[in-house]
Structure 1
Amino acid sequence: MTSSTTPSHGTDTAQSPVARFLKATEIDTRLLGMVGALLLIWLGFHIFGAVFKGQGSFLTPRNLWNLSVQTASIGIMACGMVLIIVTRHIDLSVGSVLGFTAMVMGITQARILPDIFGLGSPMIWIVTCLVGLVVGTAIGAFHGWLVAYRGIPAFIVTLGGLLVWRGAAFLLARGETISPLDSTFSLIGGGPYGSIGATGSWIVGLIACAFILWKLYSGRKNREHHGFPQRPVWAEVFLGVLGCGLVIGATMLVNAYPWPKGIVNQYAAAQGFEVPAEGLFISHGWAIPVLVLIAVGIAMTVLSTRTRFGRYVFAMGGNPDAAELSGINTKLMTVKIFALMGFLTGLSSIVASARLNSATNALGTLDELYVIAAAVIGGTSLAGGVGTIYGAIIGALVMQSLQTGMVLIGFDAALQNIVVGSVLVFAVWVDIIYRKRAK
């Protein structure tokens, strides 16, 4: 047997069984820590509700489905914030840019496009989404230009943007709420009609399982081709079973949440059939904004780990001077990174405004806090050079779980802010300790 196929994991008998297991499966210990913290939060809120409120309502299909939808907007922006922080910058304007972009889209689809295409035209939601993405990208690129080519610190540029774009959003509609929005556009925000149902969810789940198995197989073939040490076969099987099990479990969960009876009755009346006396169970399935978040997470992971752009980003974060001396156009890269952040903010504004079916001046308020906290909690180092996309998404889920759980058990808004702020400081402290031990 050659060295390329001989398992190199689990041969050190001096290591503990847990250490040998983690080495063989190559599971990120920080990922395990975040998932463990998330599970503790879920269990804690559920048990607290069961003991003190008489009913544990956190770990229910309804709440977890709503939690996934609420996480989507913050999670999408957190994926971009990872690259911003990795390159030792910060973006404090994402919440205001989201609100401004949503207001532009609201005015576009409610007051401009119906006169051009006609009310109810499918072009309305398509053009509206394109407008939102272009506006967000343009604002992000402008911020990046100020940072890279005018030498203004990102903190100052985006702090100014926080104030400017919030004020601009107010002036666009004089503080009015733009509602309702295009009916097709609103489906992007989720809800009974903004989900793909049980059959569509199982199709997505099976595709995801096939993708997981293919990645494990192709990864093993690539290691063999390049002569790298292989994971033990049992570790590959474990990872495949774990990944597919999580996908199938999540699909079963979203399919277990039915449409409300009122919506079912409206649907039955529109389709021309009667609801049986025992009722009709129609599953929500995967919500469209959650699928958008998953697609963004996959695309951003590939971009950051499999492309030259991603390598340049982490090179700039590790040592900006060395990156510039090696030939990387750091100024242009900075503009691109901020433009990408703006693009994702525009996409997030589509999801957020569609979910509310309105554009309000308050939309996106304090989102910058949750986006930055999600990235940091997910393991992105404020010192630069370190960060993962999946970590940011889990961090967004942690932040939203805290907020949702505190609402369910009746915490005051002031206490909620105290908890969120404390968690953010604690996450940074943990990151400092982790980096010291890693040296």
Structure 2
Amino acid sequence: MTQTTTTPKPTSSAIPANPLVRFLRATEIDTRLLGMVGALILIWIGFHLYGELVNGNGAFLTPRNLWNLSVQTASIGIMACGMVLVIVTRHIDLSVGSVLGFCAMIMGVLQVWVLPDYLGLGNPLIWIITAICGMALGSLIGAFHGWLIAYRKIPAFIVTLGGLLVWRGAAFLVARGETISPVDSTFALMGGGPYGSVGAVGSWIVGLLACAGIVWMILSGRRQRIRFDFPLRPVWAEWFLGIVGCGLVIGSVLLVNAYPWPKGIVAQYAQAQGIEVPEAGLFISHGFAYPVLILVIVGIAMTVLMTRTRFGRYVLAIGGNPDAAELAGIDTRWMTVKIFALMGFLTGLSAVVASARLNSATNSLGTLDELYVIAAAVIGGTSLSGGVGTIYGAIIGALVMQSLKTGMVLIGFDAAMQDIVVGVVLVLAVYADILYRSRTK
């Protein structure tokens, strides 16, 4: 007797009936990312409508507010990129706000009290030396924390909690609580503002380069899938991702170019350049601010580090199972030192942006930033259990946190209510992470 065989039909799990599920699988869009973006949009629309209904003036969804929001997000977003690595490896860093304040005070002393005496006031090397010293100092502090954690076996919570107190006190002792200002004029450009932006033409150049990068990533990814015989996304999905990505970039360019310089600064600029201002006024676009471009560069570099290098693979391996990673030959202690040194470097870079934006160094700079940085990472999908986290998620999480702060200020919430809301959001984000992990097991 001959045995007949039939080809099994695809099961419902192989071909989902739900169009949304089929769409998400075809495009490979992260559902958690989609949820965060949806929550961010709801927050923006909610605050704008509240302003319209209560104050008769919805100020949230305006070019001015969204431009300022992007600049305010930069400092927290830069540190959140480093906090992802720290939390993924099952550690925590409570000292980032104090380290930021200490680095900012040291940089303030250097560029206001020390370097002008040796190099001359306004010397172009002042801001370069100051920024390098700030980032180097942050790296050394982070490496010291990592050494205590890895080689002296002190829990990260205790080390960084002590660092929170030590470096805040050290920041006060540097200048006995004085505010050091103004900072070097070139250094101040790193904080944004009319002169700390690339303008309309520069923004279009950045936008076109970003669009070219998106197209290259899609084509390169498809070639890599073909090379290693991995499943391919449908062509329509590739087109969809490319169009949406380029559309978001072009929309961002149009948005930042729609925010003009203030009239007073335009008048000063026109007078200095010998330009006659017409009766209707002179429209000069801000464009992308330098802090935003710094955040984008950090985000891209950290994403490449996490996904394309051995270092990133080691970080995820340690977070998944530290004992197994050590047995596999990974030097987990040295990796811990490097991770905290990287966190310190990004904190020093954030100190550059924060003090430049404030145009001064104050003892209170960075206060409670550790709360917002950790919250940004957790809201962005980084699991406190370790092993899971993305850089882009942390940046979106930072944008969510800053949107909440900005929105509450616009509608008149006092500081106490702002703290309550941030605390509730942080707890809900951790609870959502627990539910998500329990459902995906």
Instruction: Give the TM-score category using the shorter length.
Output: over 0.9
Give the match for residue 422 of structure 1: 424
1:200 maps to what in 2?
Answer: 202
Question: Would you say 1:26 and 2:32 are equivalent positions?
Answer: no
1:356 aligned partner: 358
Shift of 1:116: 1.2
CA distance in structure 1 between the aligned counterparts of 2:359 and 2:306, rounded to whole angstroms: 33
Q: In structure 2, how many angstroms separate the alpha carbons of the residues matched to 1:200 and 1:297?
A: 20
2:328 to 326, 329, 338: 326
| Residue 163 (1) aligns with residue 165 (2) | yes
1:243 to 217, 232, 245: 245
Per-residue deviation at 1:273?
Answer: 1.8
Q: 2:134 aligns with which of 132, 138, 157?
A: 132
Inter-partner Cα distance in structure 2 for 1:293 and 1:59: 22
**Aligned mates of 2:89, 2:17 — CA distance in 1:** 36
The secondary structure found in structure 2 opposite 1:298 is helix
Deviation at 1:11, TM superposition (A): 9.9
Q: Which residue of 2 aligns with 1:187?
A: 189
> Is the partner of 1:180 in helix, strand or coil?
coil
Q: Distance in 2 between matches of 1:236 and 1:15?
A: 22
Q: How does the TM-score come out when normalised to structure 1?
A: 0.97
Distance 1:117 1:384 in 2: 47
Match of 2:177 in 1: 175
Aligned amino acid, residue 78 of structure 2:
I
* CA shift for structure 1 position 272: 1.4
Name the counterpart of 1:4: none
CA shift digits 1:224-244 (9 cap, x unpaired) = 111111100000000000000
Equivalences, count: 431
CA shift, 1:12, in A, is 4.5
* Equivalent residue number for residue 67 of structure 2: 65
User: Which residue of 1 is the match for residue 294 of structure 2?
Assistant: 292
Query: What secondary structure sits across from 2:363 in the alignment?
Result: coil
Q: Amino acid of the residue matched to residue 23 of structure 2?
A: F
What is the SS of the residue equivalent to 2:197?
A: coil
Rounded to whole Å, the distance in 1 between the matches of 2:329 and 2:95 is: 30
CA distance, structure 1, for counterparts of residue 271 and residue 283 of structure 2: 15
User: Segments of 4+ in structure 1 off by > 3 A?
Assistant: 10-14
Answer whether contact 1:12 1:20 (CA < 8 A) is retained: no
Distance in 2 (alpha carbons) for counterparts of 1:73 and 1:333: 25
Summarize the alignment of residues 225-236 of structure 1 with structure 2, pairs less than 5 Å apart: 225-236=227-238
Distance 1:11 1:146, change over 3 A: closer
Shift of 1:14: 3.8
> Which of 217, 220, 226 lines up with 2:219 in the alignment?
217
Aligned partner of 2:56: which letter? G
Find out whether 1:304 has 2:313 as its counterpart.
no
Provide Cα deviations, 1:228-267, integer angstroms capped at 9, x if missing partner.
1110000000000000000000000000000000000010
- TM-score in terms of structure 2 length: 0.97
Deviations 1:65-95 (A, max 9, x none): 0000000000000000000000000000000
2:16–2:22 contact (8 Å) kept in structure 1: no
The aligned amino acid for 2:360 is S
The aligned counterpart of 1:397 is 399
> 1: CA distance between counterparts of 2:121 and 2:15?
71
2:122 alignment partner, one of 120, 123, 133 = 120
Offset at residue 412 of structure 1 (A): 1.2
Deviation at 1:274, TM superposition (A): 1.8
Q: Deviations over 1:96-133 (max 9, x none)?
A: 00000000000000011101111111000000001001
Q: Name the SS for the 2:149 alignment partner.
A: helix
Contact 1:70-1:400 within 8 A present in 2 as well: yes
* Cα gap change, 1:97 to 1:48, in 2 (>3 Å): same
Structure 1 unaligned segments of length 5 or more: list them.
1-7
Cα distance in structure 1, aligned partners of 2:388 and 2:290 = 30
Check if 1:55 corresponds to 2:66: no
Given that 1:258 and 1:284 are in contact with CA atoms closer than 8 Å, whether structure 2 keeps it comes out as yes
How far has the Cα of 1:15 moved from its partner?
Answer: 2.6
Deviation at 1:434, TM superposition (A): 0.2
Unaligned runs of 5+ in 2: 1-9
| Equivalence for 1:38 | 40
